[in-house]
């Protein structure tokens, strides 16, 4: 059973078992399948490069986003803050040094580090396990925007909760990775080609490791994230549609991308179908999950908040700035948008349905 939460008007609805191959309004996603295994040495992993699309300055953002951040048309950030004026907290996900730390427990253990090769070059991103054999990440991690069949990565692998070189639950090899049609052919709605796009999301199907699926390896369905889409977890706040976001990832500028980092920030919806947060993360964090209601629910005697289903991925890290002074990142929302308009066909559903349809065993 898939853990996909949608938000329609005022109601949260759980969807289960969507494996149909009939696509009503949107074309099926484009996929690349291979049996190539990616094995990188410690040196190669240490020297792997980021693939995060970067804006050179804030003038490339839509005017409404610049206004919200208090950034002028010239792309200059307020000298009083030296940032994009968006508060956040970015720290190590674990304060312990030993491998047997909090990272081995859910909900951290469903996030991890993604590796890919394009030609002779190695790259790093982040990702998250959302189903039995399914990892969600950013499209730019596994495909070069608009380059169609020639744009796919040659090989992909994933290490759940990699910590100081240790693969806590093993290394899993990608067998198929898929991106939305508009990202594949370059017709996606973007502020700049391939940057700040509506559909910078991807799903990677992981081959089993020693006969064990990646979701089973980290603890089964209860140890994988669900996804949520459209307006789930957002509410009107200070004139914006806003939500609280927990971002996980492996930015290269922190601990040499050897440890998972956690960032918490208010996120708000922005054009084109993005969500914006404050963050100190940089390249390498691409594809990492943006999670609503992160954590383990306490035993509580107070009334439950609205839309409080725990650990729902609502986006993945998509873009940032060349300058590390602005400290703002954005992501394509899991949602209906310009290309994906039909009921039951958000961008994330389009990918999810395809991967589950390849083999029902791919999804719980």
Contact at 8 Å (CB) between 119 and 298? no
Other Cβ atoms within 10 Å of 76 Cβ, number: 11
Secondary structure (3-state) at 127: strand
Could you read off the pLDDT of 151-206 as tens digits, one per residue? 999 999 999 999 888 888 999 999 999 999 999 999 999 999 999 999 999 999 99
CA angle 204, 152, 255 (to 5 degrees): 65
Q: What domains appear along the chain, each with residue ranges and CATH number? A: 4-20+29-96+103-295+308-362 (2.40.10.120)
Report the run of H or E that residue 122 belongs to, with start and end. strand 121-131
pTM across the whole model: 0.83
Could you read off the pLDDT of 90-118 as tens digits, one per residue? 888 876 665 557 888 999 999 999 999 99
Contact at 8 Å (CB) between 99 and 166? yes
Contact at 8 Å (CB) between 141 and 123? yes
Other Cβ atoms within 10 Å of 127 Cβ, number: 34
Mean pLDDT per 10-residue run, the chain (364 residues)? 44 26 60 81 76 67 60 34 66 69 90 96 97 98 97 97 89 98 97 95 98 98 97 94 97 91 95 93 95 92 88 96 87 98 95 96 98
Q: Sign (positive/negative) of CA torsion 310, 235, 64, 193? A: positive
Report the run of H or E that residue 215 belongs to, with start and end. helix 214-217
**54-55 and 11-15 beta bridge pairing:** unpaired
Match 């693969």 to its residue by tokens.
167
Other Cβ atoms within 10 Å of 92 Cβ, number: 13
The residue length of the chain stands at: 364
């Amino acid at each position: 059973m898939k853990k996909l939460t949608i938000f329609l008007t005022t109601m949260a609805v759980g969807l289960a078992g969507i494996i149909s191959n009939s696509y009503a309004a949107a074309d099926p996603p484009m996929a690349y399948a291979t049996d190539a295994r990616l094995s990188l040495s410690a040196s190669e992993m240490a020297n792997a490069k980021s693939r995060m699309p970067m804006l050179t300055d804030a003038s490339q953002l839509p005017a409404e986003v610049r206004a919200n951040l208090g950034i002028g048309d010239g792309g200059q950030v307020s000298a009083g803050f030296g940032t994009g004026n968006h508060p956040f907290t970015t720290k190590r996900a674990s304060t312990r040094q030993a491998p047997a730390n909090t990272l081995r427990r859910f909900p951290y253990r469903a996030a991890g580090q993604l590796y890919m090769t394009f030609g002779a070059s190695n790259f790093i991103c982040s990702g998250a396990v959302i189903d039995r054999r399914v990892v969600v990440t950013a499209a730019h991690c596994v495909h070069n925007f608009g380059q169609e069949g020639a744009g796919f990565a040659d090989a992909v692998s994933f290490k759940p909760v990699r910590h100081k070189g240790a693969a806590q639950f093993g290394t899993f090899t990608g067998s198929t990775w898929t991106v939305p049609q508009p990202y594949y052919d370059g017709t996606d709605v973007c502020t700049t080609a391939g940057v700040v796009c509506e559909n910078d999301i991807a799903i990677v199907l992981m081959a089993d490791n020693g006969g064990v699926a990646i979701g089973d390896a980290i603890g089964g369905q209860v140890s994988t994230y669900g996804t949520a889409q459209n307006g789930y977890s957002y509410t009107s706040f200070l004139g914006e549609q806003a939500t609280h976001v927990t971002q996980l990832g492996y930015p290269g500028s922190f601990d040499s991308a050897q440890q998972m980092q956690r960032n918490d920030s208010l996120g708000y919806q922005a054009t084109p179908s993005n969500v914006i947060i404050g963050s100190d993360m940089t390249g390498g964090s691409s594809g990492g999950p943006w999670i609503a209601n992160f954590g383990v629910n306490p035993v509580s005697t107070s009334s439950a908040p609205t839309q409080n289903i725990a650990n729902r991925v609502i986006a993945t890290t998509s873009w940032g700035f060349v300058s590390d002074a602005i400290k703002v990142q954005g992501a394509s929302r899991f949602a209906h948008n310009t290309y994906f308009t039909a009921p039951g066909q958000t961008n994330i559903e389009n990918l999810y349905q395809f991967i589950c349809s390849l083999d029902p065993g791919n999804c719980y």
